[in-house]
Amino acid sequence: MSLRSFIEKLENDGKLKKVSKEVSTDLEIANVMSTLGDTPVLFEKIKESDMRLVGNVCATRELVSKAFDVDKSELLKTIANAAENLKTPEIVTDAPCQEVVLDKPDLNKIPLLKHLEKDGERYITSGVCVIEDNELGRNSCYHRMMCVSPTDMVGRIIQHRGTDIALQKVKELEMA
């Protein structure tokens, strides 16, 4: 199920909170999300961006089960089965992620959040990153990433894990 389909499903099931009031990425959105707890929320007007933002869509096992369209009791078995029966992803030439293509990407236009007053900058807290290890192949992993300029982010790399192992083999590692 695509993220768009999942958001629509949550809305149709009355599980999605929509915030239509303009909110800021500087502490305000994080505060609203914290206040709402595990409730999925869609922010429709972001002060610093023309984009919308959705959060808390994977906050509970119930939500992840709903995304996979399985009963909560079947979630672990479904994930284990997928891990044991890997499939090569279909390569397409036209995908929803290509609807907006920028000649000069600017991370400042993306609604990245500052969560706490002492945060150094704005973060992606659980970004799904894809890397290519020359020996082991493609790997998807989660990383916390801090925006340090309009074109650069710094990721938190855990020692002896997939990204770190791949990075040790090369000088630079591309990440999507």
CA–CA gap between residue 117 and residue 127 (Å, rounded): 21
Instruction: Enter the pTM of the model.
Output: 0.84
pLDDT tens-place string over residues 14-27: 999 999 999 999 99
**Three-state secondary structure call for residue 95:** coil
pLDDT tens-place string over residues 75-124: 999 999 999 998 888 888 888 888 888 888 899 999 999 999 999 899 99
CA–CA gap between residue 41 and residue 172 (Å, rounded): 36
Across the chain, what does the average pLDDT equal? 92
pLDDT exceeds 90 at position 140: no
pLDDT tens-place string over residues 25-79: 999 999 999 999 999 999 999 999 999 999 999 999 999 999 999 999 999 999 9
The whole-number pLDDT of residue 133 equals 87
**Three-state secondary structure call for residue 93:** coil
Residue found under tokens 């409730």: 39
Q: 76: which residues sit within 8 A by CB, 6+ positions away?
A: none
